[in-house]
Each structure stands twice: as structure tokens, then as C-alpha cells.
């Protein structure tokens, strides 16, 4: 009897959490919203116009952005990632795409999602609308982590040595092919190790690929001409 009375007299208080819609709205407000940066490209992938947020995200003004290729605003490895998407748009084999990219803001990097939508008139591609949703604002990075961009970094001999190292060619073989001594090859390798801040040859090749110095879709590996002095 006493047990039954205790159950009947006990009240369980359940806190009110609102309707499902209320809870969804609470979660929406608590989740940081990513802003969308909008720009228009011509069929040659050059920026023709953009919104203020787009210019600000890349640390540029309209004069420094319009007329430039979209690739100039992104990490050097980008063409290998989204180049195929743009090709499908221009070949009328796709209407849109969404891909992760790395953007550049005054040498600093930021990640985000880039969406491209084809604009056509009379079945002809007249342009592409791109919408960028950055994950966050660009963060300051140390000098050792900054992306050098597409500026000359290597001498012609450095480039030939780097291509050989990436192919797995030995020091002796490289010396014979390039008409240098083994010490000469080691000198150029050591110079690039210091320049790209890599501890060994394996890291040197990986670093070169990550910076876009070596092409990702070509074998044997090739250094892009714009990185050669």
C-alpha cells in the first residue's frame, strides 16, 4: 500500500522543449551560417563581375580581379581538381557542379565549396556563375606554410633535377643525364630542400606536388613553366 501511494503521489516534471519546429529553429540559430560569394565568369573562365563579398574573400578589389582567370584566385593544384568540371560545362555534358577548393587571400589559404552553374543562350555557353561558400575567413599562417603562388622559384637545372627525383632517378643517373657531377646534383637537391623547407627527397616531391609546382595529371612528372626562372 505504501509503495502504491508513493507512486501515485510522485510527479515527474518534464522540461518543456518546444515543438519540433522550435527545436529546429534553435539549432539553426546556433549553427554558424556560411556566407556565399558570387561571381560571373566568361566561357574562358575569366571573372567578369562579382559581389563585394567575393572580392573581400580573396583580398582583392574589382580592378585586380576582373579579367583574371578564376584559377589565379585558387591554389595552384586547383586545375587538376575542378578543371574537369569546367570542361564538362563547356562541352555541354553537365549543367552544374560542386567541389571543394582552396582559395588564396594575400598568400594565406582558406577552404570552401565552389559551385559552378552554366549559363546558356540558344544552346551556347555564355558564361558560368560561381558561388563560393568559404568554411571560414582566411587565417594567418606562418611563412613556412604560405603558398608561393605561381611565381618563378626554380632555375632550369633545379626543375630538371626535381623532375628526375620525382621519377625516382638516382643521383648517378641524373648526373650523367644532366652532365653534372654527383656533388652538383646533391647541391641542387639541397638547395630545393631548404627553399621548400622539406627534410628529405620524399618530402620535397610531396611538397612540390602540394604547391602545384609538379603537375598532378602528367607522367613523367613535369615542373610547370611558370615556376621556372
Residues 46-74 pLDDT 10s: 999 998 999 999 998 999 899 999 998 98
Q: Please give the C-alpha separations between residue 46 and each of 73, 123, 177, 189, in angstroms, as whole numbers.
A: 11, 20, 41, 37
Residue 148 has pLDDT above 60, yes or no: no
Mark 81-101 as b/e (b = at least 16 C-beta within 10 Å): bbeebbebbeeeeeeebeeeb
Per-residue pLDDT tens for 91-141? 888 999 999 888 888 767 788 899 999 998 888 899 999 999 998 654 444
* Grid coordinates of 134: 568559404
C-alpha to C-alpha distance for 71 and 62, rounded to whole angstroms: 16
Residue 169 CA, chain-centre distance (Å), reads 30
Residue found under cell 527545436:
23
**What is the DSSP-derived secondary structure letter of residue 220?**
S
Per-residue pLDDT tens for 161-210? 999 999 999 999 999 999 999 999 999 999 999 998 899 998 898 888 87
C-alpha to C-alpha distance for 56 and 37, rounded to whole angstroms: 9
Per-residue pLDDT tens for 4-63? 444 344 454 444 445 544 554 554 454 445 578 999 999 999 999 998 999 999 998 999
Amino acid at each position: 500500500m505504501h509503495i502504491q501511494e508513493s507512486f501515485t503521489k510522485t510527479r515527474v516534471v518534464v522540461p518543456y522543449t518546444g515543438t519540433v519546429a522550435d527545436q529546429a529553429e534553435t539549432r539553426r540559430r546556433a549553427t554558424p551560417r556560411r556566407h556565399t560569394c558570387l561571381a560571373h565568369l566568361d566561357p574562358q573562365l575569366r571573372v567578369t563581375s562579382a559581389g563585394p563579398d567575393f572580392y573581400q574573400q580573396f583580398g582583392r578589389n574589382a580592378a585586380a580581379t576582373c579579367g583574371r582567370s578564376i584559377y589565379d584566385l585558387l591554389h595552384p593544384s586547383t586545375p587538376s581538381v575542378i578543371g574537369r568540371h569546367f570542361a564538362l560545362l563547356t562541352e555541354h555534358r553537365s549543367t552544374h557542379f560542386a567541389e571543394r577548393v582552396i582559395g588564396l587571400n594575400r598568400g594565406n589559404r582558406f577552404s570552401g565549396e565552389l559551385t559552378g552553374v552554366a549559363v546558356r543562350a540558344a544552346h551556347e555557353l555564355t558564361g558560368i556563375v560561381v558561388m563560393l561558400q568559404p568554411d571560414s575567413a582566411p587565417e594567418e599562417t606562418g611563412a613556412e606554410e604560405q603558398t608561393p603562388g605561381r611565381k618563378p622559384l626554380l632555375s632550369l637545372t633545379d626543375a630538371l633535377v626535381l623532375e628526375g627525383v620525382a621519377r625516382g632517378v638516382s643521383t648517378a643517373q641524373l648526373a650523367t643525364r644532366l652532365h653534372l657531377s654527383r656533388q652538383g646534383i646533391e647541391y641542387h637537391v639541397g638547395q630545393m630542400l631548404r627553399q621548400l623547407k622539406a627534410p628529405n627527397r620524399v618530402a620535397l616531391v610531396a611538397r612540390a606536388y602540394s604547391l602545384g609546382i609538379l603537375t598532378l595529371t602528367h607522367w613523367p612528372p613535369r615542373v610547370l613553366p611558370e615556376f621556372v626562372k
